[in-house]
Amino acid sequence: MRLTSLLDPRSIAVPLRAPDRDGAIAELLDAIVRSGHLEPSLRESALRAVLARERSLSTGMEHGVALPHGAVDGLAAPVCAMGVHPSGVPFSSLDGSPARLIVLMLLPRNHNGQIATLAGIARLLNDAPLRGRLHAASTASEILSTLGTGEATEEALS
């Protein structure tokens, strides 16, 4: 599943303003609610699910990337939000770097394909030139265009 198919331009925060991990997750969650892809009544349970996942094992990757995620009862389909933070927020990442690119994924409980989808997003964001273009982007449309180009390149190479 392509990241661009899970993102709505209204759920992309450029720049992401939260000063810490929990705030960044909440800010991205609010963007999903504003986009209409998550009922406001599910916001708190989604936040609890994602933060519980973070407490059990950080989703901070390497190279300033974090992929927080959680399963939400009542959600019909997977949905994502993405934020680009100018300086990064601490995310207990594998390499200790702050997360500048944060992709929040919400999944229906018992969703098949979660690991494959998260692995695909991680693989996509492992590309240093792509990350550089995402850091330089200033609009949601630039983010989507950059991700789409990266996905097309990755598909052509596989």
Under the banding of pLDDT at 50, 70 and 90, the label for residue 112 is confident
- What is the arithmetic mean of pLDDT over 57-66? 96
Position 115 scores a pLDDT of: 87
Q: Is the pLDDT of residue 103 over 90?
A: yes
- pTM, two decimals, is 0.96
Distance of CA 83 to the CA centre of its chain: 7
> Is residue 89 helix, strand or coil?
strand
Distance of CA 145 to the CA centre of its chain: 16
Position 34 scores a pLDDT of: 97
Under the banding of pLDDT at 50, 70 and 90, the label for residue 79 is very high
CATH placement of domain 3-157: 3.40.930.10
Give the amino acid at 157: L
